[in-house]
């Protein structure tokens, strides 16, 4: 008595399943090695607060008041970014303290800390007109270095900020416009893209 051999699986179906498995493996590896917790909507809100700060700062008459406006904006933006980043990271990866997240922060922090130090130095030296370009350059540098552990749009945003910062340093009279474009429009544009492409 002979039995019919089991027919082999459809090669097309096997190929489709293999492609699905490879896609799953690739996405899993990307999530493990890239910090996808960068918050798109948080970036949009940070950009909006920067535009508000630009408008408020433009109405000030004393340099000290102008500086206060932007220091407050820096603190507000930091709190918005930290909260939204932690919220998105926990939603996507269960924790805000993954290895890529730590790498992002360790790479992002030094240029930002250097910016804080240079703010005090330039202010004391009476070179406040150089602050907008300096802030944009160093923030952009932090975004590029931190973005090496994130999705591709993040380091690209950093490069754009560096270019705007270089322009603002070369032509200090454009500093206020540079802050509005860099911290405002650029953050909003890239935030919307990240929210659309990478969720939240």
pLDDT at residue 36 in the model: 63
User: What is the chain's alpha carbon radius of gyration, rounded to the nearest angstrom?
Assistant: 23
**Cα(37)–Cα(145) distance, integer angstroms:** 16
Report the candidate in 55, 158, 179 with the shortest Cα–Cα distance to residue 111: 158
| Segment-wise mean pLDDT, segments of 10 residues, the chain, 200 residues | 55 65 59 60 93 96 95 93 76 63 80 94 95 96 84 90 96 94 96 82
Per-residue model confidence (pLDDT) at position 86: 74
The pTM score is 0.78
36 vs 101: CA distance, rounded Å: 9
Distance (Å, whole) CA 23 – CA 129: 50
Output the pLDDT for position 42.
87
The DSSP 8-state label assigned to residue 10 in this structure reads P
The number of CA neighbours under 13 Å toward the Cβ of 3 is: 3
Q: What pLDDT is attached to residue 136? A: 97
Q: Can you name the residues that pair with 35 across neighbouring β-strands?
A: 150
What DSSP string describes 152-196? Answer: THHHHHHHHHHHHHHHHHHSGGGHHHHHIIIIIIIHHHHHHHHHH
Query: What pLDDT score was predicted for residue 104?
Result: 76
């Amino acid at each position: 008595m002979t039995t019919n051999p089991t027919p082999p699986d459809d090669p097309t179906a096997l190929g489709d399943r293999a492609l699905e498995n490879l896609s799953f493996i690739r996405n899993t590896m990307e999530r493990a090695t890239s910090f996808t917790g960068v918050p798109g909507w948080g970036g949009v809100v940070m950009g909006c607060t920067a535009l508000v700060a630009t408008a408020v700062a433009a109405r000030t008459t004393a340099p000290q008041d102008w500086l206060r406006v932007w220091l407050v904006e820096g603190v507000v933006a930091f709190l918005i970014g930290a909260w939204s980043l932690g919220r998105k990271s926990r939603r996507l990866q269960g924790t805000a303290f993954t290895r890529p997240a730590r790498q992002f922060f360790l790479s992002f922090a030094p240029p930002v800390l250097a910016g804080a130090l240079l703010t005090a130095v330039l202010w004391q030296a009476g070179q406040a007109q150089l602050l907008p370009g300096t802030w944009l350059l160093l923030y952009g540098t932090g975004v590029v270095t931190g973005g090496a552990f994130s999705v591709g749009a993040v380091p690209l945003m950093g490069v754009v900020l560096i270019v705007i910062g270089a322009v603002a340093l070369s032509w200090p009279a454009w500093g206020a416009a540079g802050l509005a474009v860099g911290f405002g429009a650029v953050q909003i544009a890239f935030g919307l893209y990240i929210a659309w492409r990478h969720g939240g």
